[in-house]
Structure 1
Amino acid sequence: MSTSVHTLASGLQAGNVIPFLGPRMLALCDGPDVPATPGALAQIMTAKVSVPHKIRNRLTQAAQFIENFKHRKSVVSLMNDAFAATPAPSALHRALAASGAGLFVDSWYDDTFAAALAEARPGGNWAQVQGLSQSEHFGQWFGAYDAHGLPLAEVPAAGTLLYKPIGSHAPGANYLVSDSDYVEVLTEIDIQTPIPPAVQAWRSGRSFLFLGCRFDDQLTRSFARQIMKRSSGTHWAVLPDEPTRMEARFLDEQQITRIAMPLAMFADELVSALQPALAA
């Protein structure tokens, strides 16, 4: 087992490393299946609502078309259907949830990691904060919920926090998914308005570990860049596939070290490295 994995495990236990989870984490889970890429989600949505052929595989554009010509409620209903099931958390989900990390960033809509936190921390000493669509919550950029799904008046300044920047299925069916959703957020994200102050405080001086993420489109790069702002200068990303030119530039710009190994293999090593501390 590599020294770097042990170093990451120690950083996680000490709360110095923030896990940043992407949709490809779902590949580690057993069923039921939910869409694990923007393209797969777009296909599910457009199988139920007709959209122009040229945007059928483009998630944000397809969602915008449905919002414009049906209703925002139609988009939310389709998203709720797509993510109604919760895949069983993998061993890596469970190990991370039980680790010493104080902030988790989950950049997909499924409820898998929230289920892992509920299992690892039955006392309910964690909260969730989700990005909100301006079309439904004008002027409010994020909403907070306790471990039981009840709304909170504000994001807790202390305790474990699950941050879902593009929303989530549960508990509030909040989704950033259409072009207009993202335009609103990206207009403000440079000055950090959509990012909760508690998240900004947590990331200060800490490192990020990207798991199940790709940076091959502008949206994912923009969100990751702004969420990482004012953190440390040392980060890692498990990327088994050769990065695209723009990904490579992003990794270099953000001082992210690529770990070139399959996610499943890395997961086995990290879970094993975390196990002694979790058993203590």
Structure 2
Amino acid sequence: MNAAVPPLPLADRASVLPAIRKCLAEERLVPFLGAGIAALSAPVVPTDYDALAAALGKRVALPKRARGNPWASAQYIESSRHRSSLDALLREIFAAPVAPGPLHRFLAGLHLPLIVDSWYDGAMRAAMEDVLDWGEIQGITRAGIGEDRWFRAYDRKGAETPVVNAGGWATLLYKPHGAIAPVGNFLLADSDYVEVLTEIDIQNPIPDAVKLRRQGRGFLFLGCRFHDQLLRTYARQIMKRSRGPHFVVMGDTELTRNEIRFLRGQGITPIGGSLADFVSELVA
């Protein structure tokens, strides 16, 4: 690690868990789930971007420049084949249902105003099955749809519904990069993000219901990485105009220089210890 970027001190799990539980109970924290949460269950789908890139590489012969990079791999497949081919591969890769884990069920039972889930599996949706008043907004690709829309909304049964209905839901599940369920929306190729990244600073790709529900709240990042600029940009813009406090549990992963700068710049407190241990104690 570069000495010019001093490491962040890690908060002790036992010292911050009571405050986190209190903030969740008072609806003052927004859970922000990453791919690492899927790894806590039996890994039937990729549980990080490296594994997703490898899964694409097993199915398509990729040029050297794209190997190991999920966004470049997806872009090559879209460009050399067709968008429908990429979507079909992603639906195949994420076809196996990820069973909701203790964290998903714990969060579903809290009836929080907002839950952000940035991975493509459907475990959080499945955990909400018995919750009566909720719905979901997913980011969608604008490639070839001929519509001026950044996202679509789905009710608890999976039927598409006008986005304006999200304002009345007790709980909003926000999947900014899409998801396998209910219909298989995916943002992954570079082309998916070109327009998003040109307008995300002015918040157009962020749903109004998300902007409203993040106000006065902090974020709890679980199973997330911020080693890529795209991931940092999304997290920063989704957090925008929130109040804090913010926490992140990244497990035993060594942080990159950019991750340290990001966490420090956003005022996010990193918590020491493994993600599995944190989740186990949180839901106990």
TM-score range, shorter chain: over 0.9
Q: Which residue of 2 aligns with 1:73?
A: 84
Aligned with residue 261 of structure 1, among 258, 262, 273: 273
Q: CA deviation at 1:233?
A: 3.6
**Residue 213 (structure 2) pairs with residue 202 (structure 1):** yes
Q: CA deviation at 1:3?
A: 4.1
Aligned with residue 43 of structure 1, among 41, 54, 65: 54
**Residue 167 (structure 2) pairs with residue 157 (structure 1):** yes
Structure 1 window deviating more from structure 2 (87-96 vs 101-110): it is: 87-96
**Residue 225 (structure 2) pairs with residue 214 (structure 1):** yes
Q: Which residue of 2 aligns with 1:275?
A: none
Q: Across the two proteins, how many residue pairs are aligned to each other? A: 268
**Residue 142 (structure 2) pairs with residue 134 (structure 1):** yes
Provide the rounded CA distance (Å) in 2 between the counterparts of 1:34 and 1:249: 30
1:128-181 residue CA offsets vs partner (Å, 9 max, x unmatched): 000010104331001000010001012411320000001111112111100010
**Structure 2 unmatched ranges of 5 or more:** 1-12
Which stretches of structure 1, 4 residues or more, deviate above 6 A after TM superposition? none
Aligned with residue 147 of structure 1, among 119, 134, 156: 156
Q: Is the 8 A contact 1:130 1:174 kept in 2?
A: yes
Provide the rounded CA distance (Å) in 2 between the counterparts of 1:211 and 1:117: 18
1:244-269 residue CA offsets vs partner (Å, 9 max, x unmatched): 11111101110000001100000111
TM-score (norm 1): 0.92
Aligned with residue 109 of structure 1, among 120, 135, 142: 120
**Residue 254 (structure 2) pairs with residue 246 (structure 1):** no
Structure 1 window deviating more from structure 2 (85-94 vs 71-80): it is: 85-94
1:103-151 residue CA offsets vs partner (Å, 9 max, x unmatched): 00000110011111114x1x3x110000010104331001000010001
Q: Which residue of 2 aligns with 1:58?
A: 69
**Structure 1 unmatched ranges of 5 or more:** 273-280
TM-score (norm 2): 0.91
Task: Report the AA paired with residue 246 of structure 1.
Answer: N
Aligned with residue 193 of structure 2, among 160, 182, 187: 182
Task: Report the AA paired with residue 194 of structure 1.
Answer: P
Give SS of 2:202's match: coil
1:182-205 residue CA offsets vs partner (Å, 9 max, x unmatched): 112111100000000000000011
Q: Is the 8 A contact 2:219 2:244 kept in 1?
A: no
Identity, % of aligned positions:
47
